[in-house]
Structure 1
Amino acid sequence: MKKIFIYTLFALLVVGCKDSQEKPTESGLLGSNFHSIRENGKETNLYVLRNANNMEVCVTNFGGRIVSIMVPDKDGKMQDVVLGFDCIEDYINKPTDFGATIGRYANRINKGKFSLDGQDYQLPTNNYGHCLHGGPKGYQYQVFDAKQNGPQELVLTYFSKDGEENFPGNLHCKVVMTLTDDNAIDIRYEAETDKPTIVNMTNHSYFNLDGDARSNSEHLLTVKADDYTPVDETFMTTGEVVPVENTPMDFRRATLVGERIDEAFTQLRNGGGYDHNWVLNTKGDVTQVCASLESPKTGIVLDVYTNEPGIQVYAGNFLDGTLKGKKGITYNKRASVCLETQKYPDTPNKPEWPSAVLRPGEKYMSQCIFKFSVRR
C-alpha cells in the first residue's frame, strides 16, 4: 500500500511539473486554459499565429474569437491591443462579443423580422426588441472546427443548420485568418447555402492600442465616409443616410474619439456615444484604407481595409467596469473601439441598401484586413 502511495504521489508530481512548465504565449496565455469539451462533444482550443516579425495573434475556436494581438509599439515593446479573457470559462460564463466572429447576421434586424421571396421570418429578439448579432445563440457562442495550416494561417469552419435561430437555409461557413509578414490580419469569410437566406459576418474585436485597456478617449480615429446611417432610441437604423458634415460624426480627418463623444447631439444620445454605421467612401475597394485608429501614447496605428460598404464604429459604451479581462485588467466604460466591417444594419428590411441575400449556387465572400504599423 505504501509503495502504491509513493508511485501515485510521484505521478501527481510529474503531472504538476508538466503543467507548471507549460510555456505561455507572448501575451501570457496558457493553451491549457482554453481546452474544454462542450456538451456537443466539440473541443475548444487556443491557436497561435506568428509571423516573421514575431507579431503574435491568439485565436480560440469558441466563437472564432481573437483573444490577443501582440504588436510592437514605437519603442519596440510588444503590446496586447485587444480586450479578452485568460480562459475559456470566462468566455462561456461571461457572455460578450470580445474578438468574436459574428453571424449569421451582424448588427441589428428590426424587431427580428424580415421577408424573403414572400416568406416571413421571425428571429429571436435579444436587444431592445431587435435581433442583434444573429441572436442569443449566434456564431460567437458556437464551436468552430479549426485547422491550422502552418504558423500564419488558421481555417475555421462552421455548419449552421436550416432554422438555427430561425434563419433559413443550411449554411456552410468558412473563416480564414492569415497573419501576413507586413503585420496584417487578413480575415476572409465565405459561405454557401441550400436555400435563400441572409448573411452578414464580421469580426468584433475590441481594440485598445494603448495596451492597457483603460480608455479610448485619446485614440485618434479616421473614417473615410461622407455619410452615416442614423439610429433611433433603440439603436435601430431609421433608413436615412445623412452627411457627417458639421456633426460630431465627421471623422474624415483624424479626431480624438473622446473629443466630441459627450456633445449634446441626438445621435450620440441615441447611441450612448458612437455606435453607428458609416457609409464608406471606399465602396468595397479592399485596396484602400477605410478607417484608421492610432494611439499617440504607443505610436501603434491600425489601418482597416474591406470589400464591404459599411463599418460599424462602437466605442465600448456598454462596458461598465464589471468585467475583468486578461491579467486582471478591469474593462471600464469606453475602454476600446470596435471597427466592424459589414453590410448596413437591417439591410433585409431596407431594399434600397446593399443586399445581404445569398442564394443557392452563389458564394458569400467578405474580407477585412487589420494592418498594424508604428508612427514614431
Structure 2
Amino acid sequence: MFSSALVFAVIVVGGVTRLTESGLSITEWKPITGILPPLTQDDWNVEFEKYKATPEFKMLNHSMTVDEFKSIFYMEWGHRVLGRIIGIAFVVPLAYFALRKQLSASMPRQLTAMAALIGVQGLLGWYMVKSGLEDSIVETNSVPRVSQYRLAAHLGTAFVLYAGMIGTGLAVLFDWKYANKGVWSGLKDGTSWQTILSNPLVKRFSRASWALTGLVFLTALSGAFVAGLDAGLVYNEFPYMGGRLVPPTNELFDPAYAKDPSRSDLWRNVFENPTTVQFDHRVLATTTYFATAALYAASLRPAYKAILPPMAKRFAAIAFGVANIQVILGISTLLYLVPVSLAACHQAGSVALLTSMIHLLVALRRPGAAARAWRQASVAARRQRQP
C-alpha cells in the first residue's frame, strides 16, 4: 500500500513535470550516479551546456539562464529520484519476505512481476525522453515534445503498476480480516460470501464493474495523448467544439495527418490530430461518467441493494462521487487553458477514480485460498475447545 502511494505520487509529479515542460532538461539517463544533482557551479554549467544542444533549448528556451534551468532540472530530477525510491521501497521488502518464506504460494510471482515492471517503467521513461531530444524534431514539429505514443505507454505502465500494487495490498488486508475475524466485504458474518458471489445479479454487477474499470483506464490513457499533443489548448469550451457538439468530419479526419499517398491511414488522426484526440477524450470521459452513474444507480435498486455486500455499495457511491469531481476538474482545466494546478489535480483525479474502482473489485472478490484455509482451521480449533 505504501508503494502504491509512492506510485500515485510519481504519476502526479510526472504530470507536473510534463505541464511545466521540465521533462527534457536532463539529457542523459544514469540510473546510479544520476541520483545526485549537480553540486557545484561547474557541474551546473556542464549540464546546462548539454541542455543547450537540445531542440527544446534551440526552439523555445534559447534565452534561458542557468538559474532558470535549475528550476526545470530539479523538477525532472525529483521525478526520476522518486522512481528510484519506489524501486528500493518495493524490491528490498520483497526480497526480505521472499527469503523468509512469509509469502503465500502465488505471491512471489505476482510481486516479482511488479518489480520487473518498475524496471520496465524506468526504461520506458528514458525511451520517451529520447524522443524529445532527437534533432529531427526541429524539422517535423513546430514545438519540441516527446512522442505521445511513448508518453501513453509510460503513463499506462504506471497505471498498471499502481493497480497491481494497490489491488494486491487491498486483497491482503481484506483476506487478513476474513481469516482472523470472519469479516468479508463489510459483513461481520462472512460465511455468506459464497451465496452472495454466486448470485446472478452480483455476477452481472461484478462484470459491469470490471468493464467500467477498463473504461476508466482507457479514458486515462487517452488523456496521455491529450497531454502529449497539447490538445487541451484547442477548443477551450464545453460541451461544444467550435459551436458544435462534433467538429466537422474533414477536421476530425484531416488528410494532412495521413502518411500514405492513398490516405488509407487516416486512422492516424485518432492518435496524432489534436482536435480528434481531444474529441475522443471527451467522448470517453462522458461515457465513463454516465457508466459510473449507471453502476451507482444499479446499486440503489432494491434487488441489488438487498444482495450486494456493504463495501461494494459504498465504493460504487464513492466512485460516482469521484467521477463528479473529475468531470468538474476536466471541464475547468479545459476552460481555463490548462493551468498547471488544475491539470495536475485532473490527472490525480483519474488515479483516484481508478482507486475507487479497484476497491469495488476487491470488495466483490472471494477470500484467497490461504485466508479460507486459515479461517477453517480457526473455526475448527474453536469448536474443539468448546465443552
Which band: TM-score by shorter chain? under 0.3
Tell me which protein shows more helix as a share of its residues.
2
Q: TM-score normalized by structure 2?
A: 0.23
Larger-Rg structure:
2
Q: Report the structure, 1 or 2, having the larger strand content.
A: 1
Which structure is richer in relative contact order (CA contacts within 8 A, separation 6 or more)? 2
TM-score by length of 1: 0.24
